[in-house]
Every structure is written in C-alpha cells, then in structure tokens.
Structure 1
Amino acid sequence: MDEMLQVYVCYAAARDEFLRPLKVAPGTTIGQAIEMSGVLEACPDINLTTQPVGIYAKKQTLDTVLRERDRIEIYRPLVADPKDSRRRRAAKKAGGEDTAAPAGQDI
C-alpha cells in the first residue's frame, strides 16, 4: 500500500484562522483535501467557486494533485486596493496631501 501524504489546509478569516494537518492518499487533489479537512463547515463564508486557492502562495486549481508537505491556502478577497494603499503611503511619506485622482479618473 502507498504511504499517506502529510499536507496542511489553512484559511485566515477576518478574526480566526484555520490550520489543520491532514493525511491524504497519493493522488488526492486540492479540492478533495479541502473537503476532507472540515474547513468548509468551520468557515461557511468560503466559496470555492469565487475564491482562489494555492499551495505556498502560488495559485493552483482545485484539481491539482498534492505532494508531501504541501500547504493548501484558501485566499480571501482583498479588503483594500493595493495600488491605492501604495499611493496613500507615498503621499504621506512625501508630506503632502493625496493628490491622486480616484481610480479611473484623470486630473
């Protein structure tokens, strides 16, 4: 019999985090491991049709076959636009007001 693989399923919710070690059979996919982990019951806000998943910060599909010690991550939508955040930090560092136009508008 093939040896079981040790993998981890993690999800960082707004207030809680979910991290569960899991033993899976060789050939198990990301989607199957997520279902086996219980994260969908523990965090009902997860929607795998709209939320991306990955292994060690690299996006993958739900049908990706797992390898030993993979850490499956379920990503939440961004709260703030990174470009807007960067503009605000740059304006603050320069000591001036934020003069950047709202996204999609020219000055």
Structure 2
Amino acid sequence: MIPVEVAFAQPDRQSLLPLMVPAGTTVEEAIALSGILELFPEIDLRESKVGIFGRLCAADRVLEAGDRVEIYRPLLADPKEVRRRLAAEGRSMGQSRGGKTQDR
C-alpha cells in the first residue's frame, strides 16, 4: 500500500483526502476510492481535468507514493480573452479600476 492524497476545491469549500491505495493504482481509481465523488457530486470526471501536484496528467497514470491527485474545475473565462479585454481598457491583470495594484 502507498499513501496518496486526493484534492478538490471550490471557492468556498476545499477537500484534501489522504488514503492508502495498492501499488499500481491509477489516478482515476484513487479518485473513486477516496469517496470525493460522493462529497462533491458536481464533479464530472468526463469533463474535469486531473493532475498531480499542479501538472496535468492522464486519468490512467499510475500513482507513486506521496502523490497528490488534483481534480480541476473548468475555467469560467478564457484567460487570453480576459487579458485582451483588460488591455483594451488600459488595465492589466491584478489592477483595480483605479490603476492601483490590488492587495492580495
């Protein structure tokens, strides 16, 4: 058995589930074993991308000890389009309407 984690986040709710899985377990199998699909029924693995430590990977990738499987939500806006719109308004990412950088 190897230790892994499965993570999913929404703006108001996050979940990081540690679990032990058999060696040879895939990303998709770990997600199913974690029970996260019951906690977040809105997750659609056919539409959601998955990754390990912030890097996209295939659902059939075999996990290694210590991997953190991440389920990504779809983007609400195309980043290129947002930058284009801000540039047309004379603004850039991270700036408020007053032109001052927002506190983070």
**What TM-score, normalized to structure 2?**
0.79
Residue 92 of structure 1 deviates from its aligned partner by 3.3
- Paired position in structure 2 for 1:10: 7
- Paired position in structure 1 for 2:90: 92
Matched, 1:19 2:16: yes
Partner letter of residue 7 of structure 2?
Answer: C
- Paired position in structure 1 for 2:100: none
Q: 2:31 aligns with which of 12, 30, 34?
A: 34
Matched, 1:74 2:42: no
Following TM superposition, the consecutive aligned residue runs of length 4 or more in structure 1 with deviations greater than 6 angstroms are: none
**What TM-score, normalized to structure 1?**
0.77
Matched residues, number: 91
Residue 93 of structure 1 deviates from its aligned partner by 3.0
Partner letter of residue 61 of structure 1?
Answer: A
SS at match of 2:18: strand
Task: Give the gaps of 5 or more residues in structure 1.
Answer: 95-107
- Paired position in structure 1 for 2:47: 50
Question: In the aligned structure 2, how far is the partner of 1:5 from the partner of 1:92?
Answer: 51
Task: Give the gaps of 5 or more residues in structure 2.
Answer: 93-104
Bigger proportion of residues as strand:
2
C-alpha deviations, 1:14-53, integer Å up to 9, x for none? 3211111111111011111101111100000000111111
Computing the radius of gyration over CA atoms, which structure comes out larger, 1 or 2? 1
- Identity level (%): 46
